Amino acid sequence: MKNKSNNLFTLDKFIEESLYNKKYGYYMKKNPFGKGGDFITAPNISILFSEMIAIWVISFWERLSCPKQFNLIELGAGNGEMMNVLANTFNKFPQFKSSCKINILEKSELLQQTQKANIKDTKVKWLNNLNELNNCPCIFIANEFFDALPIKQFLKKEKKWYERHVNFANDKKLEYLDIPFDMQKFEKEIKFKISYKQMFVEYSPLATKYLQTIIKNIKLNNGGILIIDYAYLEKEMKNTLQAVSKHKYCDVLKGFRNSDITYNLSFSLINKIIKKMGGCSSLSTTQKKFLTKLGILNRAEILSKNMPFSKKADIYFRIKRLIDESQMGHLFKVMFITNQKNKFKLGF
């Protein structure tokens, strides 16, 4: 983890240590979700978010010609709230439910326990890795999954590339340190010209590994992945690293092991990875457009028809948080990756 001086972490190793250290890691020692935690995700805001995802999954399964057996995999299921709503919704569609094998990939044992307590469906299986999946069509759901994976940062100064490190020489005050980096050698290793027309690069080796595994699975077995996350569409990459504690942004270094560290996905970079692997294509949109096209406002109208004003107002207040452009509606993007021959476009 550290270099020869024993005081330096590459940024991705620093994030790995901060979030996933088995004893002290942020995700390993606490449940960060909800009002009493550090942040709230879309499934915690409104049940309607998860219902829209359920509708999308069922519709995609129908587009795949209703396979009699398929895998639904949620990557990083948070506190289990979304999967619980999905499973409950699926109960209303017996043919779909009998075909669907629900799986969750979750690294944190603490969050696994929370998920097992919150998800009422007893047939859910927890995976240690994606290699455990059988050779059936797979639908992957990644809601705020990729943004929680460690990233490397590279920056170009005076035509030379540097990799960002964290200096632990002074335990009371961690500091960034940029060290000269052989970008050409790195690009040969990853077989990808990631620095082309860039002055700053954010790259997650682990996220890339997951994407490669998932895309291979989709090409082999059919299916797709729905990614919902902080993201941007511009081709030029930028520094998006941030930390959150008690629902407020905080210093990444000062929050070591006690705050959530996250970044915004470059959908342009993901598209380059998809293109390089071949056989798959993607669609992208904003969370606002995705949820609106799926009918979240129509669903809210039906649900609130005979409710008292206070409850009706609460439903629409929550939806506003999800789709308003000044809140999550534009900040969050949605990407769908599937086989090139599959023309399913619901929500896009």
Instruction: Show me where the domains of the chain are located.
Output: 8-339
Name the pairing type of β-strands 125-127 and 100-105: parallel
Tokens coding 332: 């969050």
**pLDDT score for 193:** 93
- Among candidate residues 323, 320, 307, 139, the one with its CA nearest the CA of residue 226: 139
pLDDT tens string 127-141: 999 999 999 999 999
Q: What is the mean pLDDT of the chain?
A: 92
**How deeply is 97 buried, as exposed, middle or buried, from its count of CB atoms within 10 A (0-12, 13-18, 19+)?**
middle
Q: Is 235 helix (H, G, I), strand (E, B) or coil?
A: coil
pLDDT at 36 over 70: no
Task: Say which range, 97-101, 165-169, 214-218, 265-269, has the weakest mean pLDDT.
Answer: 165-169
Task: Say which range, 16-25, 33-42, 197-206, has the weakest mean pLDDT.
Answer: 33-42
pLDDT tens string 60-72: 999 999 999 999 9
**pLDDT score for 173:** 85
* CA-CA-CA-CA torsion sign (229, 230, 232, 236): negative
pLDDT tens string 286-310: 999 999 999 999 999 988 888 889 8
Contact partners, residue 48, CB within 8 Å, separation at least 6: 296, 299, 300, 303, 315, 318, 319, 322
Q: How many CB atoms lie within 10 A of CB 51?
A: 20
Tokens coding 284: 């992208």
pLDDT at 2 over 50: no
Q: Could you say which of 3.40.50.300, 3.40.50.11540, 3.30.1050.10, 3.40.50.12710 is the CATH number of the domain covering 8-339? A: 3.40.50.12710
38 pLDDT tier (thresholds 50, 70, 90): low
Q: How far apart are CA 278 and CA 343, in angstroms?
A: 16
Measure Cα distances from 136 to 95, 139, 220, 222 in Å: 17, 10, 9, 8
**pLDDT score for 228:** 98
- The percentage of residues in the chain with a pLDDT greater than 90, rounded to a whole number, is 78
**pLDDT score for 331:** 94
Tokens coding 291: 């949820």
More confident residue, 169 or 258: 258
Q: Mean pLDDT throughout 34-42? A: 72
pLDDT at 4 over 50: no
**pTM assigned to the model:** 0.93
Tokens coding 55: 């509708």
35 pLDDT tier (thresholds 50, 70, 90): low
Tokens coding 164: 């960002």
**pLDDT score for 24:** 85
Q: Mean pLDDT throughout 209-229? A: 97
**How deeply is 226 buried, as exposed, middle or buried, from its count of CB atoms within 10 A (0-12, 13-18, 19+)?**
buried
**pLDDT score for 3:** 45
1 pLDDT tier (thresholds 50, 70, 90): very low
More confident residue, 1 or 190: 190
